[in-house]
Structure 1
Amino acid sequence: MLSVLYRTRITHLSRSPVHHYFEQGGYLWYVDLDDLPRLPRWLQPFATFEAADHLSPPVTGPDTLRARVDQYLADRGVDLPGGTVTALTQARVLGHVFNPLTVFWCHDDRGVLRHVIAEVHTTSGDRHAYLLPPTGAQPAAVKKAVMVSPADGADGYYLVRAPLPGVDLDVTISLHRDNKPAFVATLDGTRWKASVANVMRLQLVAPMAPLIGEMWIRMQGTTLWTQRAPAVTRAPEREREKVGQL
């Protein structure tokens, strides 16, 4: 599979504890973990993919992004030898990366999609990966396991709709409490060829995308605080580790 780019638009709608909406433009890579992009050396600082930015290192063998996905699946009793794993993610740009959401689509050796992994990163440095069934255009439910905002706890459950990207990208995640949506995020985009010209173009229209994205989310958190959204106390480190193992 040849890598592609998606020019993206992200929307966030918070309904509880306060009503707040924002949207942000950017771009993401869609890559085959066994065939990551090979850019000219002079352009590589604007798109590098590091295993350490995702999941946990493998128990044995080389520490690659593919090996980390295989280890994550193996820890949950899943074995997909020879199957393709594709990922929608943000690359490192000038050494910086911030991936609020990375999605991995895991196929068996016949090309059948078997599992979806949705990995969430928070601005506080926590991350957690959710293993989902391949539900296509229908959402999959999963219990929330990590606090992503000081104004939001770790209770409730997500509905995640993450069909395989095509010409268009269309991912939706909603957080539900008491059978009501408390938060809805959408990620949509249009596919671009991953050419040198397009990578350069995106550095102009969305410069330092990971850093700007993180700063923007932090600004929205500050806005929620000024709107008197109640802060939620973070669990002690030991308790957060237990949650992360769910």
Structure 2
Amino acid sequence: MTAARESVGALYECVVAHARTAPLRHTFRHRTYLWCVDLDRMPSLPFILRPLARFDPRDHFTGRAVSIRGGLEEFLRARGVELGGGQVLMLAHARVFGFVFNPLSVYWCHDASGALVCVVAEVHNTYGQRHCYLLRTDSAGHARVDKEFYVSPFFPVSGRYRMRLPVPDERLGLTVHLETEEGRPFTATVRGHRRPATAGALLAAAARRPWSTAAVWAGIRRHAIHLLLRGLPVQPRPHHTPQKGMVP
């Protein structure tokens, strides 16, 4: 729990990497920065810097809760999970100049004693849809879960995810494998180093990666076009049914 407490209000300078091995080989690396925040102790920024980092409940869960924590707890209650006021850490992009796109937001959910109860992985696709996976991770942060949500247009909604999502400390290290009967056709990793979330650190990160969250969205589109031009077929997108606890 000590590492979790130290991670509150941190910036992580990150490298996000995707490796696709089938049916075509394709890899890319993207530099960005992510926030790790305590949902009960959100960063308080000077007014002039707020356009560079805003956390909005509309961007998570149903988008109708009064707070991000409220949306999370509604999702958890629908699955019989109560935190009793315990700490929740969120790793995500913030809105930058009013825009945000989070391919993956992660929530580490603790109970009142400080024990990790579960991890929630909230996935967004480029079609404006979102889906949450409730994970019971082991001591190293590992969990497996069936894939239930259409993300990449080049993979069907089948297979399983093997995730490693340890609580961030000085280093951030997340891994998501897609596993199918044929093997592991896709792996995503996020690696980063923690920086205190000071005004100076935010300005420096924004100067190095201007409009970082829009760059993530644009990068995903650019690589999708590249794969289309290489002849990779698009998989049909099934109808998306909102999850229990996610219905607006």
Scaled to the shorter chain, the TM-score interval is over 0.9
Which residue does 2:241 correspond to in 1?
241
Structure 1 residues 1-246: aligned runs within 5 Å: 1=5, 2-56=8-62, 63-178=66-181, 180-236=183-239, 240-241=240-241, 244-245=243-244
* Whole-Å separation in 1 of the counterparts to 2:94 and 2:13: 14
Distance, in Å, in 1 between the alignment partners of 2:141 and 2:101 is 27
Q: For residue 196 of structure 2, what is the amino acid of its counterpart?
A: K
* Aligned equivalents of 2:185, 2:139: Cα separation in 1: 23
Alignment: residue pair count: 239
Deviation at 1:38, TM superposition (A): 0.3
Q: What displacement does 1:227 show?
A: 1.4
Residues 168-212 of structure 1, C-alpha deviation per residue, up to 9 Å, x if partnerless? 000000001006111000001000010100100011100000101
Deviation of 1:134 (Å): 2.6
Contact 2:75 2:244 in 1 (8 A): no
* RMSD over equivalenced CA pairs, Å: 1.5
Give, in angstroms, the shift of residue 151 of structure 1.
1.2
Report the secondary structure of 1:52's partner residue: helix
Q: Does the 8 A contact of 1:32 with 1:86 survive in 2?
A: yes
Identity of aligned residues (%): 36
CA distance in 1, matches of 2:182, 2:236: 24
Distance across 2 between alignment mates of 1:92 and 1:223 = 27
Higher relative contact order (CA 8 A, sep 6+): 2
Separation of aligned partners in 2, 1:13 and 1:121: 19
Do 1:135 and 1:161's aligned partners in 2 also have CA atoms closer than 8 Å? Answer: no
C-alpha distance in structure 2 between counterparts of 1:169 and 1:79, whole Å: 27
Q: Structure 1: where are the runs of 5+ without partners? A: none
- Kindly provide the amino acid, as one letter, of the partner of residue 93 in structure 2: Q
Q: Please state whether the residue corresponding to 2:241 is helix, strand or coil.
A: helix
Aligned-partner Cα distance in 2 for 1:16–1:136? 31
Listed one character per residue, the Cα deviations across residues 92-111 of structure 1 (whole Å, up to 9, x for unaligned) are 00000000000000000000
TM-score (norm 2): 0.93
Answer whether contact 2:142 2:166 (CA < 8 A) is retained.
no
Q: Distance in 1 between matches of 2:52 and 2:165?
A: 26
Q: Is the 8 A contact 1:17 1:230 kept in 2?
A: no
Structure 2 regions of 5+ residues with no counterpart? none
